[in-house]
């Protein structure tokens, strides 16, 4: 059965307008057609509450805001009583970790972006610690499961964050040249098992080549109108399955079988300027 053709969206973006983040690149690897729906056509599924783990995501956002406020020297304690017990426990774990007393200048929620091969690549670092001769990226993780190192080493965050940082380092408020770039994923539910990486010039060249190859593949997929993958296990649970294969994923109430809609027209957001602490 042919899929449902996507109607023209007045808000459809071009590839040059899309901010390509690690999440976007990961989605492109997972399913090019889904990447097109989400980042170019910006389609919205009306039954958004069908997505699982929303509560976990909300707790994760709350924890990130706590650490950001703490990093900026703001009072955090008055806000704790309004948060869930889980988030308050995570906060206590953070306070007992070395990250509560970083050695160096801290930049919180630092936006980075760079044009590569005509695309806008962007990232937002949870924390950057600037010390003499070194730059240290720290990303807070609140997931229940801590993936193995072999899997994390291939993660787009691991590839993209240090690559972009090295590309824009000349614009940062550094006291002198840096010789070392580190990246840490700190898991609040596994505080003794961080993922740590020391970046190198060889890693930079390898990741840049991999990124350029991915961007070249993205151009090819655009020319092919982002063809759908053959129906498979990942399609069965996808909320956009009907567009590709004419099949609804299980568990969607019949009253939600309406078509996709687009958000109200909004100006494209510009990357905010970094706030130096």
> What Cα–Cα distance (Å) separates residue 64 from each residue in 32, 68, 97?
30, 6, 15
- Cα-to-chain-centroid distance, residue 180: 24
CA distance 277 to 268: 27
List the one residue out of 241, 230, 233 whose CA is nearest residue 50: 241
28, 216 Cβ separation under 8 angstroms? no
Show the beta-strand stretches assigned E in 10-92: 19-20
- Specify the pLDDT at position 273: 41
Prediction pTM value? 0.84
Average pLDDT over residues 214-225: 97
Q: Residue 264 — very low, low, confident or very high, per pLDDT cuts 50/70/90? A: very low
268 has a pLDDT exceeding 60: no
pLDDT tens, position by position, 171-204: 888 878 889 999 999 999 999 999 999 999 999 9
For residue 66, the model assigns a pLDDT of 97
3-state helix, strand, coil in the chain (%, to 5): 40, 20, 40
Residues near 176 by Cβ (< 8 Å), separated by ≥ 6? Answer: 132, 133
Residue 139 pLDDT: 98
Planar angle of CA 245, 248, 253, nearest 5 degrees:
165
- Whats the size of the chain, residue-wise? 277
Contact 126, 140 (CB under 8 A): yes
- Residue carrying the six token digits 């206590």: 92
Show the domains of the chain with their CATH numbers.
52-227 (3.90.320)
d(Cα 138, Cα 183) in Å, to the nearest integer?
6
Write the pLDDT tens digit of every residue in 12-59: 899 999 999 999 999 999 999 999 999 999 887 544 444 556 788 899
Residue scoring higher pLDDT (259 or 208): 208
């Amino acid at each position: 059965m042919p899929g449902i053709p996507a109607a023209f969206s007045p808000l459809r973006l071009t590839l040059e307008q899309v901010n390509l983040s690690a999440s976007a690149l990961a989605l492109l690897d997972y399913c090019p057609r889904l990447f097109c729906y989400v980042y170019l056509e910006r389609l919205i599924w009306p039954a958004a509450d069908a997505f699982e783990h929303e509560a976990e995501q909300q707790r994760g956002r709350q924890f990130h805001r706590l650490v950001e406020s703490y990093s900026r020297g703001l009072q955090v304690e008055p806000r704790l009583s309004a948060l869930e017990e889980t988030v308050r426990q995570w906060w206590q774990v953070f306070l007992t970790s070395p990250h509560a007393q970083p050695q160096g200048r801290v930049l919180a929620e630092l936006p980075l972006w760079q044009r590569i091969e005509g695309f806008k690549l962007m990232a937002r670092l949870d924390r950057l610690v600037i010390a003499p001769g070194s730059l240290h990226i720290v990303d807070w993780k609140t997931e229940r499961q801590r993936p193995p190192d072999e899997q994390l080493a291939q993660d787009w965050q691991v590839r993209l964050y240090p690559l972009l940082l090295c590309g824009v380092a000349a614009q940062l408020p550094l006291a002198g040249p840096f010789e070392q770039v580190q990246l840490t994923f700190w898991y609040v539910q596994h505080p003794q098992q961080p993922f740590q990486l020391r970046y190198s010039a060889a890693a930079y060249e390898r990741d840049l080549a991999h990124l350029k190859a991915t961007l070249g593949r993205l151009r090819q997929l655009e020319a092919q109108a982002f063809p759908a993958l053959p129906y498979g296990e990942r399609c069965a649970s996808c909320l956009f399955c009907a567009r590709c294969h004419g099949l609804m994923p299980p568990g969607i109430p019949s009253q939600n079988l309406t078509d996709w809609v687009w958000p109200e027209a909004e100006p494209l957001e510009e990357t905010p300027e970094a706030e130096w602490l």
